[in-house]
Structure 1
Amino acid sequence: MLSIIVPALNEEKYLPILLSQIKKQNFNSDSEIIVADAGSKDKTVEIARNYGCKIIPGGLPARGRNEGAKIAKGDTLLFMDADNVFLPENFLSKLLAEFERKKLGVASFPIYPNSKKIDKILYGIYNNFVNFTQIPYATNSVLVKKEIFEKVGGGFDEEIKIAEDHYFAKQAAKFGKFGFIKIEPVLTSDRRFIKDGRLKTYLKFILAGIYMFLFGPVKKDIFKYRASGGSEGGR
């Protein structure tokens, strides 16, 4: 069984797009969708309920993922951001088939912003780097066996301010094989570029990468970064 876990905060704009994309999938295996809501003031919870999701209290983003995993019935967990706006046809079936064929314990896959060509080129460089090196890195979403998730103490580290998904993938790879599954990419929204500006957003990515290389996980607010739902903080 597959459990799809989505942290959310005030996602009435994007959540119905993601959920409708999931519902359209030609996926024959049992599955469930868990929305970990971080106290939304809009129609996020109502939308999730209308789509038949399980709804639990959560936080953004690591806590929401961890809370979702606690109640997940599936033996495989797929963590997705609420603003993923396009899933390719047969995405879930192809993803799971490759996951099983390669005997993976944790995996990521191509994700591109639904924005300008330059962004797709830059994200393409990153996606191809992960695919070529197979270095454990997440690309906004993570697929993992539940037994592997449970071996990573505490799941996603809730103290990390940014790129906690990358750190989780690195830790999970200690207990199961990591793989980057090269399939047709998922598209995610370009809202960070719109709200913060393209240059500023990429500078934050670069600074975070340098910090992680020199000092390890970012556990303090080195700058403000918009989490899913548009809230601000270190993440």
Structure 2
Amino acid sequence: MKASVIIPTLNEAELLPGLLDRLDRQTFRDFEIIVADAGSSDETRAICRARGVNLTEGGMPAAGRNRGAAVARGERLFFFDADVLPPADFLEKALGEMDAEGIRLATCWFEPDSDNPLDALLFELANQFVKLSLKTAPHAGGFAIFVDHELFDRVGGFDEALRLAEDHDFVKRAARHAPLHLLESTQIRMSVRRLEKDGRFSYSAKCLQVELHRLFKGEVTEDIVDYQFGYAPSGNNNGADEGLKRLIERMAVWRREHAATLKRVARDVKQAPEVQDAMAELRRNFDTLKEAVRAYLSR
């Protein structure tokens, strides 16, 4: 079998059918679907059984992905989250590019399933960060990691001892054996439910805090921010940013403690050609994004 699609779940009955529908319509057919469920109390498991999906016991995202990979038969593993929406030709194009270029480890561009221009801006920044970090500090979200089965086994899969950023840790370790690539032939849409639940700025602050921890203290083995695995219902997010002030205060302490190092890193990064190219691209898009944000906020 060419590929295995592995989806860790916890109470994903609302959005999982959308992903399964997209997978049913894939133009490439030599693949299996494995759902690693962490004990859902909703209809997630019933949906899987009704759709004929391979269902296995999961756990926190790292454990779920590992347990899915343990029963996978595909030569390549495609790790998705339940809230992504791949186009019908996604697997065909992704596998075609990986085969043609000899790619063993990849992620892809991602865009928000939203018409909010703030989301477009945040996703563009995230995409550029992934692109810029490919050679120096590879990053890839667990919602879209594609890897040779042999390479996955070689590095021992995802580290289940980590509380956060186990996806970035995995690609960092795997990239020591095969470089991480950002696929150019296709992209994926993903839900913004996490942004809506936590608040866009609060969520961004959490991500920054995690990255600072990884940079200065190492991988995250304890709960340094509030981040829950499982369905995060969208809707009214009043109070979602209650922890933002505390996060900002904590990051301010980090900045004071590591001011010299941060200044040196910023200078070196700014001088890199890849960063200059990315900044030029962001500047080209900024005016359009600015007008879109202004129009959205004035509605």
What TM-score results when the alignment is normalised by the length of structure 1?
A: 0.92
Q: What residue number does 1:145 align with?
A: 148
Quick one: which of 196, 199, 202 aligns to 1:197?
199
Larger Rg: 2
Change (3 A) 1:186 1:137: same
CA drift of 1:108 comes to: 0.6
Shift of 1:186: 1.0
Correspondent of 1:223 among 202, 222, 225? 225
Q: Which amino acid aligns with 2:72?
A: A
Aligned to 1:90: 89
Correspondence 1:107 to 2:110 = no
Spell out the pairing of 1:25-44 with structure 2 (5 A cutoff). Answer: 25-28=26-29, 30-44=30-44
1:208 counterpart residue number = 210
* 8 Å Cα contact 1:37/1:55 also seen in 2: yes
Which fold has the larger relative contact order, with Cα–Cα distance below 8 Å and residues 6 or more apart in sequence? Answer: 1
- Structure 1: where are the runs of 5+ without partners? none
CA contact 2:112–2:119 (8 Å) conserved in 1: yes
Counterpart of 2:37, as a letter, is: D
Amino acid at match of 1:23: D
Residues 105, 174 of structure 2: 8 Å contact kept: yes
Q: Specify which structure has the higher proportion of helix.
A: 2
State the one-letter code of the partner of 2:27.
N
- Asked if the contact 1:131/1:181 (under 8 Å) is kept, the reply is no
Q: Secondary structure at the match of 1:223?
A: coil
Shift of 1:132: 4.8
Give the Cα separation in 2 of the matches to 1:133 and 1:197. 25
Which sits farther off after the overlay, 54-63 or 173-182?
Answer: 173-182
Question: For each residue in 1:7-52, what CA deviation from the matched residue of structure 2 results, as whole angstroms up to 9, or x when unmatched?
Answer: 0011000100001011111114x11000001001111011112222
Of residues 2-11 and 128-137 in structure 1, the stretch that sits farther from structure 2 once superposed is 128-137
Counterpart-to-counterpart distance in 2, 1:87 and 1:22? 8
| CA deviation profile, 1:66-122 (whole Å, cap 9, x unmatched) | 0001010011000110111x2123111001111111211111111223232122222
- Report deviation, 1:133: 4.9
Say what the alpha-carbon RMSD is for the aligned residues: 1.6
Question: Structure 1 segments of 4 or more deviating over 3 A?
Answer: none
**Equivalent residues of 1:105, 1:148 under 8 A apart:** yes
Work out the CA distance in 1 between the residues paired with 2:230 and 2:41.
14
Give the deviation of 1:56 after TM superposition. Answer: 0.6
Residues in 2 aligned to 1:56 and 1:12: alpha-carbon distance in whole angstroms: 16
For the residues of structure 2 that align with 1:214 and 1:133, how far apart are their CA atoms? 17
Aligned residue pairs, count: 228
Q: Which moved more, 1:178-187 or 1:70-79?
A: 178-187
Distance 2:121 2:213 in 1: 24
